[in-house]
Amino acid sequence: MFTGIIEEVGEVAAIEHRGDSAVLTVKAQRIVDDLVHGASIAVSGVCLTIVGWQPGELTAIEFDVMGETLKRSVIGALSVGDRVNLERAVRADARLDGHVVQGHVDGTGVVVSRTPGDAWESVRFGLPVELARFVAEKGSIAVDGVSLTVAAVGPDWFEVGLIPETLRATTLGARAAGDPVNLEVDVLAKYVGRLLEATR
């Protein structure tokens, strides 16, 4: 489980496609002090398992990526040099500063527009219609693993406000109109939706 509070922006060092899977290597510096084989790290919102690492000035962390993840997220489209948001799994004794993020990406969306404010920025994202019913004004959503509060919703879009810290400390500050993003809707909304379907 994650919180959507990004610890570091890493860089893709390699992505090696192997049929319907891949091995992703990401360089990082701050999140590497307690790496454990088999531990989970959210890479731009996708929960991936550490399968190895190479120490250095920047540690190169390796992850296996299965076909389902490549299909549902933007991980498969990453290139060497791309920046990715990184977050270690939350500890049981830590504060839950964002919201409950599983790292199970529901689908992808796209940056529609950016509107600068005095000290913040409003960003509109398009999303698949089948996910739109799980997004509510003032609810939570994870975009590329970043925990955000929804400011406005439409039939196939939602808007968020990004504070300067989010713009600086995550990849969202550099996303432009047309860029794809990973989306994870609130897990509670998904369970409620499933329960309502079961009672019909």
- Is residue 135 one of the residues assigned to a domain? yes
Phi, then psi, of 150 in degrees rounded to 5: -75, 125
Length of the chain in terms of residues written: 200
* Whether the Cβ atoms of residue 9 and residue 85 lie closer than 8 Å to each other: yes
Query: Is the whole-model pTM more than 0.85?
Result: yes
Q: Are residues 83 and 112 in the same domain?
A: no
The whole-number pLDDT of residue 141 equals: 97
Percent of the chain past pLDDT 90, that is, above it, reads: 84
- Is residue 59 one of the residues assigned to a domain? yes
* Whether the Cβ atoms of residue 182 and residue 126 lie closer than 8 Å to each other: no
- Is residue 17 one of the residues assigned to a domain? yes
Q: Are residues 59 and 118 in the same domain?
A: no
- Is residue 42 one of the residues assigned to a domain? yes
Pairwise pLDDT comparison (95 vs 161), residue with the higher score: 161
Total domains present in the chain: 2
- Is residue 61 one of the residues assigned to a domain? yes
Task: Give, as one character, the DSSP assignment of residue 19.
Answer: T
Residues 32-44 have a mean pLDDT of 95
Q: Are residues 69 and 35 in the same domain?
A: yes
Domain limits at 77?
8-88
If you average pLDDT over every residue of the chain, what do you get?
94
Looking up tokens 């919180």 gives 3
pLDDT tens per residue, range 150-185: 999 999 999 999 999 999 999 999 999 999 999 999
The whole-number pLDDT of residue 96 equals: 79
* Whether the Cβ atoms of residue 73 and residue 66 lie closer than 8 Å to each other: no
- Is residue 112 one of the residues assigned to a domain? yes
Q: Please report the beta strands in the chain, taking only residues with DSSP state E, as ranges in sequence order.
A: 8-18, 21-28, 40-43, 46-54, 59-65, 83-88, 107-116, 121-126, 140-143, 146-153, 157-162, 180-185
Pairwise pLDDT comparison (198 vs 84), residue with the higher score: 84
Q: Are residues 190 and 133 in the same domain?
A: yes
- Is residue 100 one of the residues assigned to a domain? no
Flag whether pLDDT at 87 surpasses 90.
yes
Rounded to whole angstroms, the Cα distance separating 134 from 187 reads 9
Flag whether pLDDT at 93 surpasses 90.
no
Residues 2-17 have a mean pLDDT of 96
Phi, then psi, of 67 in degrees rounded to 5: -60, -40
Q: Are residues 139 and 184 in the same domain?
A: yes
Residues 177-196 have a mean pLDDT of 91
